[in-house]
Amino acid sequence: MSTASAESMPAPHRLEAAAKLEARRITKFYQRDGSKLPVLEDFSLSVAELEFLVLLGPSGCGKSTLLRIIDGIEPCDAGQIILDGKDVTGTTGAGRGMVFQGFELFPWRTVMGNVAFGLEVAGIGSKERLEVAREYVNLVGLNGFANSYPHELSGGMQQRVGIARALAINPTILLMDEPYGALDVQTRELLQDELLNIWEKQRKTVIFVTHSIEEALYLADRIVVMSPRPGRIERVIEVPFARPRRDELKSTPQFLDLRRDIWQTLKKGAHV
């Protein structure tokens, strides 16, 4: 399949502005027993301003690795990450906020403490930190739990804290690595709606990684379907559904057809 940038696809929904983030010819190998396994090879991707992009694919296709490379917490063997025209390859922080699948909250900090973490690292004074943190704690609906500890919260609540933490630093781009993967279906659907709500209120460019087709179709402006070993773009889909999106969308025939369609694509590319 083509490894060409997704920019060549027709784009009725995409904004005309230059790409917010570009991944150029990313290559990454994993070493194992002396042999090099390619995870990503010459992978390129563009994300437009304020676009909600979903990377969809089975386990092992490199989508999480790509996200981590974009975030700078994992090095790549070749290639560049360009954000707002600046090369940020290999650096962390700088305009990117990440939400982790395992929540990864600091157990010794309260909700407020966790949300304020990025601000603290950036050297922002404590009074201002607390104000900003409180704003985001309220945004994700956890006002009553500002002083609770992670172990007192359910999984869904913990991930909300994770989202608030990432948003609090006002990132240029929000990176979400299968954020709802560790949660049960009901919680996941609730959080999807919440995320869309927040996104309507606080528009940001988002790259969201998932292996759930339904989730991808529900959330995304554009879906990049990846297939594994090495990770490459199998297909790009412009999601035709209007916003704001409602839960009922998931049972409409158009949604279900598209879902089946993508499933066929995934089945072709996936190795069990």
Residues that bind another protein (CB under 8 A): 71-73, 92-94, 96-98, 100, 102, 104, 106-109, 117-118, 120-122, 141-142, 145, 149-154, 156-157, 169, 187, 190, 193-194
CB of residue 224 to another protein, shortest distance in Å: 22
Amino acid letter at 196? L
Distance CA 32, CA 29 (A): 9
Smallest gap from residue 151 Cβ to another protein (A)? 4
- Residue among 99 and 223 whose Cβ is closer to another protein: 99
Helix 155-168 / helix 185-201 crossing angle, nearest 10 deg: 20
**Can you tell me the distance from the alpha carbon of 229 to that of 40, in angstroms, rounded to the nearest whole number?**
7
Q: Would you say 193 or 214 has its CB closer to another protein?
A: 193
CB of 241 to another protein, least distance (A): 22
- Bridge partner residues of 235 (DSSP): 225
Helix (H, G, I), strand (E, B) or coil at 119: helix
For another protein, the closer CB: 2 or 202: 202
At closest approach, how far in Å is the CB of 72 from another protein? 8
- Look at the block and give the residue holding tokens 């790259």: 207
Least Cβ distance, residue 48 to another protein (angstroms): 23
Instruction: Give the count of beta carbons closer than 10 Å to the beta carbon of residue 185.
Output: 10
How is residue 38 annotated by DSSP?
Answer: E
**Would you say 186 or 251 has its CB closer to another protein?**
186
User: Which of residues 6 and 142 has its CB atom nearest to another protein in the complex?
Assistant: 142
Length of the chain: 272
Long-range contacts of 28-31 (CB under 8 A, 24+ apart): 28/62, 28/65, 28/69, 28/74, 28/76, 28/77, 29/77
Rounded distance between C-alpha atoms, residue 21 and residue 19, angstroms: 5
Nearer to another protein, 5 or 89 (CB): 89
Shortest distance, position 130 Cβ to another protein, whole Å:
16
